[in-house]
A and B are shown apart, each in its own frame.
Chain A
């Protein structure tokens, strides 16, 4: 919570174990996704389809990296240069992750559109595997099918933790993993389609998936923007005011009916300003915390009403 000077600092004990699990999952993500990117880089040859999958793979590392960086900063105590602490690094990481997700969706859509408009017929030729001549498509399908498994599992594991931690970076990263396995499966479908002689199959499959990714990305971009311009805290998965923020607002309104309540989000925490009410004495602030996720309320400030004359 806050140290004796009222400054933000260490991680609340309630969420520490989950935060540790989240970090471990992100290291696993870096390991698997990085590994898959290396293998794909080796087998992709001149295939445009594989190249897109590879670019998408490399971009999908970004949320994991920024999560780990921001989690490192978050626990740092406030100092002279950063008197409010480092909790908002998480908001910044969220914006970067959301932009990356939009970029992945946009990139896939652009590549698919270009292939379809130019009517490029993708070549997938002959591969020699252990002295046997086989269609390269089978090799690519095998790589894609394997590459789908880690993001599917990791994304599933991240979602519930992101909810308890109220971590939007982790949540966006779970969506990135969803994008990963969906493009992987779309790639398989596309290559099978190419195999049947439909030159547009791969691009059509990727383009289809890109809409879903763009939708996720833009939604998160809106939430991240709201967070950075001090909007009232938004829910984890939609651009609407979060339940716990509403609950807190209601509780404060009951206690200080004449005051204006302003709540904003600092990373995973909420920061409250009660404008036009006198500061209550000790213990009261504890009572004000909502029963749901009490740890989220990081700071409550009381601001005198601007028009008050005494």
Chain B
């Protein structure tokens, strides 16, 4: 039966690629590791100290240096969507419209507040799953 064959194939893939998956469609994590740097923007008007502490953790996790800058939220998120920024740190509520166009990390410092309450988080480009996982691990503090 074809079904059995496909299940076996999937099982083989799982065994073969467990540690390597997921990969990024646009190779963000690979590039960050190769270049030893990544582009970070902090949305103005957030507590920069807290934002920087999380960025340091990401630097340690991926072994690369962050090029920091500040800017206006809307513009930064558009640049993030286009892949010109790798990571934005800002305050967003879980149910913000941006949560669909971009990917939100868990809030820095644990506790998820009510869905419509702002919390500081890392914001990432959709679909760059390896990079998202690396940042998320740093945010959640392993």
Are B21 and A195 within 8 A (Cβ)?
yes
Contact with A along B120-142 (1 / 0, CB 8 A): 00000111110011001100101
Closest CB in chain A relative to B61 CB, distance in Å: 11
- CB <8 Å contact, A135 and B7: no
Answer whether residue A309 sits at the interface, using C-beta atoms and an 8 A cutoff.
no
Residue B99, interface by CB 8 Å: yes
Q: Is B68 an interface residue (CB 8 A)?
A: no
Complex contact A124–B10 (CB within 8 A): no
Say yes or no: is A285 at the interface (Cβ < 8 Å to chain B).
no
B82 in contact (CB, < 8 A): no
Q: Does B3 contact A (CB under 8 A)?
A: yes
CB of A133 within 8 Å of the partner chain: yes
Cβ–Cβ contact B129 & A195, under 8 A: yes
A 132-146 contacts with B by CB, 8 A? 133, 135, 137-138, 141, 145
Expressed in whole angstroms, the minimum distance between the Cβ of B137 and any Cβ of chain A is 6
* A123 CA to B127 CA, complexed, in Å: 4
Contact between B25 and A197 (Cβ–Cβ < 8 Å)? yes
Q: Using Cβ atoms and an 8 Å threshold, which residues of chain A touch B132?
A: 123, 125-126
Tell me how many residue pairs across A and B have CB atoms closer than 8 Å. 78
Which segment, of A18-26, A169-177, A186-194, A231-239, faces chain B? A186-194
Q: Does A288 contact B (CB under 8 A)?
A: no
Known: A124-B22, A137-B22. A185 touches B13 (CB 8 A): no
Tell whether, in the assembled complex, residue A135 and residue B21 are in contact, meaning their CB atoms are under 8 Å apart. yes
Kindly list chain B residues whose C-beta atoms are within 8 Å of the C-beta of A67. none
- B97 within 8 A of partner (CB): no
Across the interface, do B140 and A194 meet the contact criterion of CB distance under 8 Å? no
Cα A122 to Cα B101 in complex, Å, equals 10
Q: Which residues of B contact A137 (CB under 8 A)?
A: 21-22, 129
Q: Inside 8 A of A185's CB, which chain B residues have their CB?
A: 3, 6-7
Residues on A with beta carbons closer than 8 Å to the beta carbon of B56: none
A294 proximal to B (CB < 8 A): no
Tell me, rounded to whole Å, the shortest Cβ–Cβ distance linking A224 to chain B: 28
B49 within 8 A of A: no
Instruction: Determine which residue in A181, A197, A199 has the highest number of CB atoms from chain B within 10 A of its CB, and name it.
Output: A197
Instruction: Tell me if B59 is interfacial: C-beta within 8 Å of chain A.
Output: no
Q: Is the C-beta of B79 less than 8 angstroms from some C-beta in chain A?
A: no
Instruction: Tell me if B3 and A120 are in contact (CB < 8 A).
Output: no
**Contact yes or no, B133 A126, CB < 8 A:** yes
Q: How far is the CB of A116 from chain B (nearest CB, A)?
A: 13
A126 to B106, CA, bound (A): 10
B21 touches A196 (CB 8 A): yes
Which partner residue on chain A sits nearest B99 by CB separation?
Answer: A46
Shortest CB distance A207–B (Å): 17
B25 near A121 (CB under 8 angstroms)? yes
Contact A123 B24 (CB under 8 A): no
Indicate which residue in B3, B7, B14, B129 contacts A123 across the interface (CB closer than 8 Å): B129
Q: Which chain A residues numbered 116 to 164 have a C-beta less than 8 Å away from chain B?
A: 120-126, 128, 133, 135, 137-138, 141, 145, 152
Residues B129 and A124 in contact, CB atoms below 8 Å apart: yes
Q: Which of B27, B126, B142 has the most CB of A within 10 A?
A: B126
Q: Which of B7-28 contact A (CB under 8 A)?
A: 7, 10, 13-14, 17, 21-25, 27
Q: Which of B31-55 contact A (CB under 8 A)?
A: none
A43–B133 Cα distance when bound, in Å, is 18
Interface pair B99/A125, CB less than 8 Å apart: no
Across the interface, do A195 and B17 meet the contact criterion of CB distance under 8 Å? yes
Query: Chain A nearest CB: distance from B4 CB in Å?
Result: 11
- Contact, CB under 8 Å: A145 / B3: no
Judged by a CB distance under 8 angstroms, whether A198 is at the interface is: yes
B126 and A120 contacting across the interface, CB-CB below 8 Å: yes
With a cutoff of 8 Å between Cβ atoms, the chain A residues found around residue B125 in the complex are 121
Q: Are B133 and A192 neighbours in the complex by a CB distance under 8 Å?
A: no
Given contacts A46-B100, A137-B22, 5 further A-B contacts (CB under 8 A): A123-B129, A137-B21, A181-B3, A185-B3, A194-B129
13 contacts between A and B (CB under 8 A): A46-B99, A46-B100, A122-B127, A123-B132, A124-B129, A126-B133, A133-B140, A137-B22, A137-B129, A138-B14, A192-B21, A194-B129, A199-B127
The 4 A-B residue pairs with the shortest CB-CB distance, nearest first, are A121-B127, A197-B23, A195-B21, A126-B136
